Structure 1
Amino acid sequence: MCGPFALLVLLIAQAAGYKSGAPPSMCKDMMPHHHGSPPQSGPAPFAVAAEPSGNEDEGRLRVTLSGSAPFAGVLLQAREGGVEGEAVGSFAALPDNFKTLDCNNFKGSAVTHADNSPKDKLSLVWEAPDGYNNEITFVAAVVANFSTFWTRVPSRTIKVTKRSTGTAGTGPAISKRLYDGCGVRKNCLGSPVGCEKKRDCIALIAVSRNGQDYEFEMMALNSKYVAVGLSADNKMGGDSVLECAYENHREGFEGVNAYRSWNIPNQKGNSRQDVQTGFTLREGLYNDGHTYCRVLLNSLTKAGEVTFDLNQTPYYLLLAAGTKTSEGMIHFHDVARESSLDSRLLSDLTPVMIHDNIYDGCNVDKSCFGYPSGCVADESCQAIATILVQGTTYNFKLKSNQGAYIALGLSADEKMGGDSVMECVQERNAIKLYSSWNKPGEKANTREKVNQSILKLINSSYTDGVIYCEFTRDASSQIMSTSFDLIKNQYFLLLAAGSSLKEKSVGYHDIFFVASGQKRSLSEVAALTSQSKLFVRLHGSFMVAAWIGTASIGIVLARYFKETWVESSLCAKDLWFAWHRFFMLITWCLTLVAAVLIFIDVGGWVSSTPSMIHAIFGCCTVVFCFVQPIGAAFRPHPAARNRPFFNWIHWFIGNAAHICSVLALFFATPVAKAELPAWLDWILFAYVVLYVVVHLLLTISGCISDSKGSDRVNTFPLKDLNTSRSALNSVERKMDASFGGFRKLMLFIHIVGVTAVTAAVIVIICLAPIEAQFSSLQKKIMSS
């Protein structure tokens, strides 16, 4: 009896000890040590998320622990250097039933429960130490009951920066001038990412050309050194380093000195050059704990056994800053560490891009699908979705540089309808995660009656308009009587983003919509390409060629050139009529083929407002275009009584088709699937101006010609003075109407103008999105 009783007492004592929170002994291993009960091995039904609370440089994060089930106990820390690191920082704004622990000599660096009552959620604030700049991961041990608990549940890794008290947003006054000219006459790389635009970097290097050499300006806040490395890759090792370090180690000297050093390959160690040549320190300052220097570096230098030619060889830039130096060396870069995204010549002044770790492991460890097509390879996506499968855990990450939401759909085909959708939605500067359903046949989205528990948010952020979320999804789920088994089935991916939200769903994907070109199992790691948009491109190109190109020329010929080239004929027909019929026949064929292509691609009618308006004008164009030659085939004889009526109908249908076509082109710009830039409207507007001006000038010349009375110029198509299609035989018509030379000149200008506009618009359509394609091409040229 004593044995069981003793065990019961031990268990009661153990439970009582943890009833009021975890002890300090758990700080390191975060293990509850419930005797006989190991931690759960499967995915935890809880998630730790963090997002900035206040300004980015205040070093405060709002941390949330939530899950699909209540929990009784918790131990939460922020760890530096990953899950195995040490606790750092301190927690504040705790709920009443939680308290802090002191771990790793940081006061309040961990949070635990104050009682064992069931809890649904924990929300509190974590603050970094003064002058902190590093990456952290929040780690939690969560207890559901005595025998069921999970340990080391991680958040995503987060870069945190906090300025020292009294220096936030400031720094040496001289540092402010470093930002001037970044991306224009200087190469600039700063920390944290994107700080150059805000002019609030904690460390910055700016490189500019100075004759045959290069001038490096560097500054770092709350640091005793700042350094830049020139690297063949974006990792430390085998790099030429230029250091600016504050020194007070030598007797009689206190200030900033410059040195050249060498990052030893494969060792991540640094050694200063024995001979300090090849550079000149122009200026060095140390003020209020901040370091600044300006150094002129020779374009041809040697470090280790490697020669560095700054004029001929592209390099990655490595930026580092730290709080500690000693005689002959600098120490760990605990203030800043960044590397440029690409290698380039220092004379290339385009802004230096920073690596985004969402691309890490793409198409090697995880599948990545981005917009626009091909953006994953050069890490230039406007939006990206990644899928990492580990056993039965499906981890998704979504990121978009703009919009109110980004959504990823799983579809049995490559079209919208009958799809399971996962939405990351920005609501009041916070990210919400929803599961929704694309209704079959309606192209509408709803969250009603959709099980939201199949998704679990792990982390999210909304910074400078960038939406980011990370979540897991159940491997098997049921949505609207449709089963989605991610293990057994294959799916197309639908990626979309939009700028508006509805009450119970997202709004129209007016920023972009793209479908994968392959149907695959989500566990298959491979490059995903976008669905072919060949039919869309051909549709747009054919319509532009038809209505900006051939129709514009054919209409002008019929309206103003009936008494030009009167001594010439083609196939026994007046020259103007032969060419008018030729151009309009091409217009008719291109229009009908374009209409068939887009109906095949879309598969039905569209529902969104921009697409619908474009489709309405497009359908009107097709209908008018189709009936026009049929009516012309039954035109009455020129002497018939109803010939004027035919002329009016023919004129009206032709011009209505042309007007509808131009309006359809203008309304194609906001259609997300077309991926056309907004400035395309200005090119179309230039075409309209050209078209109107040509008509106006030719009309004026016709009126002047008529007023002379010397010739009878058929200025308006409704005049039918002589409508014979045979070669002209009458004596009075063997001479061109007056101003024939002017008309020919205007026709030449018109043809050249519409041809140029047509070619430009077709190129924009075929290469859409043109801006992304141009940027990618520019990078390839610069890298080569």
Structure 2
Amino acid sequence: MLPRKRSTILLTLLVLIRSSEQYSSGAPAGACNDQMPRHASIQAQSTPPPYVIVTSSSQVRQGDSLNVTVGSPAGAPTPIGGFILQARSIQDPDVIVGKFTSLSDPVNTRLTTCTFGNDTATHSNPSDKAALTFQWEAPSDFLGGVEFRATVAQSYATFWKNVESKVVEVVNRNTVITTTSPAPTFQPTTQAAPPVIMESRPSPPTETRDEIYQGCADTKLCYGIPENCIARGNCDAIVAVFVAGDIYTFEIQGTNNPKYIAAALSMDSKMGDDSAMECVRNDNGRVSLFTSWTYPKVEPFVRRSDSPQDIVQLKESSNINGKLYCKFTRDVVSTVKGFTFDLAGGKYNLMVVSGDSMKEADRVGFHSIAFGATGDSLALATVGTAAGSSKLLVKLHGSFMLLAWLGTSSIGILLARYFRQVWVGRQLGGKDIWFAYHRILMVLTWLLTVVGFILILVEVGGFATTGDNPHAITGLVTVILCFIQPIGAYFRPHPGTKKRPIFNWLHWFLGNAAHILGIATIFLAVYLQKAELPSWSVFILAAFVAFHVVMHIVLSLTVCVSDGRISNGRVNSFPMKDMMGQPRQVTQVDRSTDAPFSSFRRLLLSIYAPIVLLLAVAMICLVALAPIGEAYNSIMGA
């Protein structure tokens, strides 16, 4: 009986020992890579974990520290039995980054080494634990995103893998940290956690320029947009190439919180048939690098599956304060879509684009934030700042269209509508004054529009839409309406004929439709990235519209009052009375002299014409001098 009792006691002790191995001294060495606790054949739970990992900041400078807390949120008090916690690189999740320097519960937790000193935190005994806080130090030779990853066990048979924190960006020593994570609320703990430590070292002097700009003058090739942004250090998008022997290192950075920033090697300054390299910000905060091939003006425009992905190697990446950055190398010689790209022996136009959306999961959206290309093909070993392609045709297109639809057409329409009974008896070239000037102004509108349209077709190499902005479509309709107007006017029926009212109404409708659509197209152009107009340009256009409408209202009232005086006080006509092609029958109007208030109308015209032309010239100056938004913002303190 005694031997049986001893056997029972021994068996019980063995079971207890086995059960306690899981927590007795922390995670086993085999858990360093996959964070699996090696609990026989027991698998991790598939349900959402009752634990979270929270950091005291979403950014940390190289060599500085932040706090990392693992625990169960308040309201769901689930104790921690065992755990293993590490910081993993976003670029390579198998790489452990940084080290832990202190812990809030030295009795129940400890630090251990998987690849280098104290890079892993784990438990030291199997007792239940509340929230645990550790201080983690970022390495001084690492730049990019990390996330804290843990496996947390509630009991021997119940544990959760891949409990992850939000991404923390390790930034260079010169970066000013402005973001912090909200203080988490965990289940109560019996031991006081140390105070949150945002920085463990004095901050160095602030430097405003990003690292990508360093060396653009003397050690690497740089191209940025808008023009002259590299000298100011505030490019919307920039690409830099550094050559050391046979290693070609690329850097690309986009601002204004882009979804992607991409650079391309192109045979010209136009989009299409280019080998592109995309730095993409995923929804989970990770930054990934892809290559793709672009197509000229046909779907799918860009496709990753047509480009090998192993020709580039990501070295660093970050997404900090709305700036998306990637640093990578590219094979010296690569073949994409049958084209051979020889970085050492070839010359290429550098192209850089950025946008705020993805069209599909594996395809970038329209370059809504920035687009530009170097004007000349360059050897990538060239040092200095590359010049962009000429924007002369774009500026001329914008200037001609502004003069046509803000200036000449507006004045021409006003003359035809309100000045037919002014300057009676005076002629120019055998035609009434109002008609002669109306025809001159509308011919100018036609010429400016047609020439402007041809210029932009030459610039873009044909008709092309501009993403979600319908500027190109409304502009094309405006050009078509404008083009057919003089043709219809040439074949107009004689006054008094049956078809003259039909012509009058069609000519009026198409002319006004073209004018309204032309103004709307100019409004849309303000939001085109290629125009580089400051956003406050819309206020100048709004001032034009308001002034134009007010003058039409005043002149319409003037014509009504004038006709009322002729009709002995009865206002029984409207300003468009002549649209029917014959004089009114109610009252015979003396058309041998100027209408009443003609002097007042001429006064209004002398005010309207200069102001409209002044507003048109102001917009033309903005187009000619673009981009000037940065200078304005700096003056206004934006």
| TM-score, length basis structure 2 | 0.70
Show the counterpart of 1:378: 232
**Higher RCO by CA contacts (8 Å cutoff, separation 6 or greater):** 2
**1:369–1:386: 8 Å Cα contact kept in structure 2?**
yes
Structure 1 Cα separation of the partners of residues 363 and 589 of structure 2:
74
Q: Which moved more, 1:436-445 or 1:594-603?
A: 436-445
Q: Would the aligned equivalents of 1:458 and 1:472 in 2 still touch at CA under 8 Å?
A: yes
Residue aligning to 1:432: 288
Alignment of 1:264-413 (within 5 A): 335-338=202-205, 354-402=208-256, 403-413=258-268
Q: Does 1:99 align with 2:114?
A: yes
Distance 1:448 1:97 in 2: 43
**Which position in structure 1 is the counterpart of 2:616?**
758
Unaligned 5+ runs, structure 1? 1-19, 22-51, 79-87, 103-107, 112-124, 130-134, 140-155, 161-190, 201-287, 291-321, 324-333, 341-353, 724-729, 780-784
1:170-319 residue pairs with structure 2 within 5 A?
192-193=175-176, 195=178
Query: What whole-Å deviation, never above 9, does each CA across 1:200-224 have from its counterpart, x for those lacking one?
Result: 9xxxxxxxxxxxxxxxxxxxxxxxx
Q: Give the secondary structure class of the aligned counterpart of 1:491.
A: strand
User: Residue 624 of structure 1 contacts residue 653 of structure 1 at CA under 8 Å; is this kept in 2?
Assistant: yes
- Give the corresponding residue for 1:59: 65
1:745 aligns with 2:600: no
Contact 2:248 2:330 (8 Å CA) reproduced: yes
Amino acid at match of 2:298: E
Change (3 A) 1:575 1:416: same
CA distance in 1, matches of 2:269, 2:58: 42
- Equivalent residue, structure 1, for 2:417: 559
Partner of 2:507: 650
Would the aligned equivalents of 1:339 and 1:355 in 2 still touch at CA under 8 Å? no
Maintained 8 Å contact 1:77/1:110: no
Paired residue for 2:172, among 159, 175, 190?
159
- 2:538 is aligned, of 676, 681, 691, to 681
Q: Distance between the aligned counterparts of 2:526 and 2:140, measured in 1?
A: 44
CA distance in 1, matches of 2:631, 2:404: 26
Distance 1:407 1:505 in 2: 12
Give, in whole Å, the separation in 2 of the partners of 1:738 and 1:748. 18
Following TM superposition, by how much is the alpha carbon of 1:773 offset from its aligned partner in structure 2, in angstroms?
Answer: 4.5
Distance 1:158 1:663, change over 3 A: closer
Residue equivalent to 2:579: 718
**Letter in structure 2 aligned against 1:418:** D
Provide the C-alpha distance between the structure 1 equivalents of 2:626 and 2:487, rounded to a whole number of angstroms. 36
d(CA) in 2 for partners of 1:491 and 1:525? 14
**2:407 is aligned with what amino acid?**
G
1:364 CA drift (Å): 1.0
Deviates most, 770-779 or 740-749: 770-779
Q: Deviations over 1:638-673 (max 9, x none)?
A: 233322222122212211211221221122233222
Check whether the contact 2:312–2:331 (CA below 8 A) recurs between aligned residues.
Answer: yes
Is 1:510 equivalent to 2:368 in the alignment?
A: yes
- The answer to whether the 8 Å contact 2:500/2:580 transfers is no
More helix by share: 2
Question: What secondary structure, in the 3-state scheme, does the structure 2 residue paired with 1:552 have?
Answer: helix
Over 3 Å counting, the alpha-carbon distance change for 1:720 and 1:101 in structure 2 is closer
Matched-pair contact (CA < 8 Å) for 1:562–1:714: no
Counterpart residue type for residue 355 of structure 1 = R
For 2:574 and 2:597, the matched residues in 1 are separated by 13
Per-residue deviation, 1:383 = 2.1
Match for residue 624 of structure 1?
481
Equivalent residue, structure 1, for 2:141: 137
Contact 2:412 2:437 (8 Å CA) reproduced: yes
Deviation at 1:624, TM superposition (A): 1.6
Partner amino acid, structure 2, of 1:336: S
Partner of 2:562: 705
Answer yes or no: is the 8 Å Cα contact 1:385–1:397 preserved in 2: yes
Residue deviations 1:690-716, cap 9 Å, x none? 222222221122122222225999822
> Structure 1 residue 662 and structure 2 residue 529: aligned?
no
- Give the match's secondary structure for 1:364: coil
**What displacement does 1:450 show?**
2.4
3-state secondary structure, aligned to 2:409: helix
Work out the CA distance in 2 between the residues paired with 1:645 and 1:65. 70
Q: In structure 2, what is the Cα distance between the partners aligned to 1:506 and 1:77? A: 30
The aligned runs of 1:466-477 (5 Å cut-off) are: 466-477=323-334
Shift of 1:441: 4.6
Confirm or deny: 8 A CA contact 1:53 1:62 kept in the other structure: no
Q: Structure 1 residues 640, 101: closer, same or farther in 2, change over 3 A?
A: closer
**Contact 1:137/1:158 (<8 A) preserved:** no
The CA deviation at 1:538 is 0.7
- Structure 2 vs 1, CA of residues 91 and 668 (structure 1 numbering), >3 Å: closer, same or farther? farther
**Which string of whole-angstrom CA distances, capped at 9 and with x for unpartnered residues, describes residues 400-420 of structure 1?**
112111111111111111111
Q: How many residues align?
A: 494
Give the drift of 1:545.
0.4
**Matched residue SS, 1:469:** strand
More displaced stretch, 447-456 vs 406-415: 447-456
Asked if the contact 1:705/1:713 (under 8 Å) is kept, the reply is: no
CA distance in structure 1 between the partners assigned to 2:388 and 2:612 by the alignment: 32
Superposed, 1:604-619 pairs within 5 Å as 604-611=462-469, 613-619=470-476
Secondary structure of the structure 1 residue equivalent to 2:228 = coil
CA distance change for structure 1 residues 62 and 455 in 2, over 3 Å: closer, same or farther? farther
CA distance in 2, matches of 1:533, 1:691: 31
Give the strand-richer structure, 1 or 2: 1
Shift in alpha-carbon separation, 1:393–1:568, aligned structure 2, 3 A: same
Is contact 1:497-1:510 (8 Å) kept? yes
* Cα deviation code 1:134-158 (max 9, x no counterpart): x92149xxxxxxxxxxxxxxxx994
Q: Report the more deviating stretch, 410-419 or 614-623.
A: 614-623
Of 681-690 and 759-768, more deviation after overlay is shown by 681-690
Deviation at 1:683, TM superposition (A): 2.6
Unaligned runs of 5+ in 2: 1-28, 31-54, 67-85, 104-110, 122-133, 144-168, 183-194
Listed one character per residue, the Cα deviations across residues 752-772 of structure 1 (whole Å, up to 9, x for unaligned) are 331232122112222222212
Q: What letter is aligned with 1:357? A: E
Q: Contact 1:487–1:523 at 8 Å: present in 2 too?
A: yes
Structure 1 residue 719 displacement after superposition? 4.6
Q: Secondary structure at the match of 2:510?
A: helix
Secondary structure at the residue paired with 1:409?
strand
Superposed displacement of residue 109, structure 1:
6.6
1:680 CA drift (Å): 2.6
Runs of at least 4 residues off by over 6 Å:
711-714, 776-779
Identity %: 38
Can you list the C-alpha shifts for 1:486-509, whole angstroms capped at 9, x where unaligned?
A: 122111111111110121111100
